[in-house]
Amino acid sequence: MAIKIKPMTKAELRRYVASYELLFEDWSKQDGVGFFRLSGPFAQQVWFENLRSGAYRPVMTVSMLIMQGGATLHQFLDIKNRDILPRDHDRKHESVLNAMQGEFRPSITEPLDVTETIQMFVAQATERILDASSLASLYAYCGNLAKANESIAIVRQLAKSKEELFDWEQNLVRDTESLATAIESGNQEAYLAANREIEMARFTGKTY
């Protein structure tokens, strides 16, 4: 008779995650299965995904706090350390710790470098509404209003070129126009700060 594989319970997963806490002693805990920290326009998370195979998977993301639904950086570890079954936890624990410190970018052991992180968002951007609207907010946050307006123009062009927009794209276009209005009136800093407060409240209340 085949053995039925099932995910761990949350209580079981928390016991494994607890063994990584020292690496994240300056971070905030998130529901016992992840950690996060906030810096400038970003929230950086590392959490441990509970897989249907019965393994857990460390995941790192960086989310934008200055706009709703912005682009994210998303990273897994190399295949050797990607998925860890409970029976392998003790044997692979040190290897996974080293992999998280060596592979996750931005670094999880150094202070979150806002300039480096923005450069990573720029490097991964493609010509789509999500990326252009995200860059518009990031450039405005940095005070580079010329670049922000270039990205706003790309959002408008892309929106006009599509026969139909998804609801989430419509929301991004609407928010980009709100940013454009804020820039025109010189109120972009207050606009982005208000967004950050809203997103921080949502983010810190998030559970997995």
34-39/28-29 β-pairing = antiparallel
What integer is the mean pLDDT of 46-66?
Answer: 96
Cα 147 from Cα 9, distance rounded (Å): 47
pTM of the model as a whole:
0.91
Helical pair 167-184 and 145-161, crossing angle rounded to 10 deg: 150
Return the DSSP state at 38. Answer: E
What integer is the mean pLDDT of 154-162?
Answer: 97
Which pLDDT band holds residue 119 (cuts at 50, 70, 90)? very high
Lowest mean pLDDT among 68-72, 88-92, 153-157, 204-208: 204-208
Residues in the chain: 208
1 pLDDT more than 50: no
Which pLDDT band holds residue 201 (cuts at 50, 70, 90)? confident
Token pair of 206, please?
Answer: 């998030």
